[in-house]
Structure 1
Amino acid sequence: MDNKTKETLAFLFARNKEANSFSMTSDGQFFSEKHRAESHSQNLKDAKVTTYHRSAFETVDKLKAQLSAKEAEVEAVKAEQTAKEAAEQAANKATKTEELETVTSGENQEEKPVEETKVKTTKKAK
């Protein structure tokens, strides 16, 4: 079904709440009664008549809406997952930085007492 047919059917079903189906002839004419479409199609090269039912048309629209909603949910979950991963990476980086700072400051603390001990020992020897 092409977009023009979909748009026409949406318009027809919206305007004709009591109609349960529309039949379309090969020349693009729509009829609310199938026998009128069949009668019209007898004068055409292609006598094909296609009938579209409201229930099927509405079901397709509902399914498309549901699919769009699910796709939006998937995108939201992906965005949330990406945000969590970024937060975890930032937290891991911060933890590694803190560990590195602790190790570095710990090395500096170990060096200071050694220097202080040397200074004290030197003073006692005099």
Structure 2
Amino acid sequence: VFAVYGSPDAASYNPSPMSETKLTGDAFELYCDVVGKPTPEIQWWYLWDGARKRRVTISTAYGANGVSVLRITRLTLEDSGTYECRASNDPRRNDLRQNPSITWIRAQATISVLQSEFSTLQ
């Protein structure tokens, strides 16, 4: 489990996304639960070609903490890779004219997609 610790107000993961191995045709979900004051913004990073095929969904809720779920259905071999959840609660995090005092924290999960024996029979 990857965790980032900083000052009490800095964002930290609770816990971080976990790596998995899946088969083609399966689905997977990665969870990103981030705590901090103010509530951190969450971003997911990867190549989003699957989003155009309506296979990728991201659900995010903000309250006392930020929680986000990345879900990909009907996995293909091209979905293998490293997915990254980024979080920051620095008010200047997206300001292009100033450097944030707290940088984005990152947690990564690697998804390995293997060819399903069943999918080769179709």
TM-score between the two structures when normalised by the length of structure 2:
0.22
- Structure having the larger proportion of residues in strand: 2
Question: Normalised by the size of structure 1, how large is the TM-score?
Answer: 0.21
Larger radius of gyration: 1
Larger relative contact order (Cα-Cα within 8 Å, sequence gap ≥ 6): 2
